[in-house]
Amino acid sequence: MANEPQSLFNLCAWAIWNPRDPWLRSGPARPACAREEASRAHSQTKILAVADEVDESLYGDALPALVPDLVLACGDLPFDYLEYLVTRLNVPLLYVPGNHDPELRPIDTTWTPPPGFIEPPTAGPEGCINVDGRLVEESGLRVAGLGGSIRYKPGPNQYSQRQMSWRATKLAARIRFQPASGGRKLDVLITHSPPAAAGEGQDPAHAGFVAFDRLIRRFHPLLAVHGHVHPYGRVLPERQIETTRVVNVVAARLLEI
């Protein structure tokens, strides 16, 4: 076949950006009404989502009263703050790193970086689950994450649009080919930066990623949460990309899906 994919990269790329191609489609696409019925079949899940700024109101007795089923952290938060949340609430906490977080890839113990190098990778917050580039299932939801921001200065967890597109391609392959109960592929997308279509970043350092738009339009998650863009006291409205709610959760938002 002249158009048959010749590599894993092309296969993954076709899987994301050509979802209607008959070579890859595993079954007929469900109409929007079927997706809505499936979402209503979910029991309501309460999510505490946090990002970028420590919410002082979450210290003390107010936190347990929220009774979330799941905590999502979108990056650039002190690790001891995340450890406090997961310890006090005793529910799963899923997170992605932000551009101000340290490198969190597995530590290479076979060499020692010379002086002047970016500090080596460190372990993440204890008791929390790093979902950067991963797909996990918690509280009955399939959750995927991509951390980091657009590259605008030297440092970890920063990517060009092309680099993030490649990361999103690999994540989409995991989402597409990992078996899902009830036909669900993705319920929640966690990112540090916003999708480009959300239109929130007003300067180059806070630009959104086009790859996130494509993931959302391909898999139609119920919810996409992000941080990175500081509202500075304003209450930012929720955005909508097709059927997906897109929410800037700085500093903290309580959501239900």
List the domain boundaries for the chain.
Answer: 33-256
d(CA 237, CA 245): 10
Decide which of 89 and 1 is more confident.
89
Quote the pTM value.
Answer: 0.79
What architecture is the 33-256 domain classified under in CATH?
Answer: 4-Layer Sandwich (3.60)
Decide which of 27 and 42 is more confident.
42
**Backbone phi, then psi, for 213, in 5-degree steps?**
-55, -45
pLDDT tens digits, 183-195: 679 999 999 999 9
pLDDT tens digits, 60-95: 888 999 999 999 999 999 999 999 999 999 999 999
Decide which of 109 and 230 is more confident.
230
DSSP 169-231: HHHHHHHHHS--GGG---SEEEESSPBGGG----SGGGPPBHHHHHHHHHH--SEEEE-SS--
pLDDT tens digits, 116-166: 655 555 679 999 999 999 999 999 999 999 999 999 999 899 999 999 999
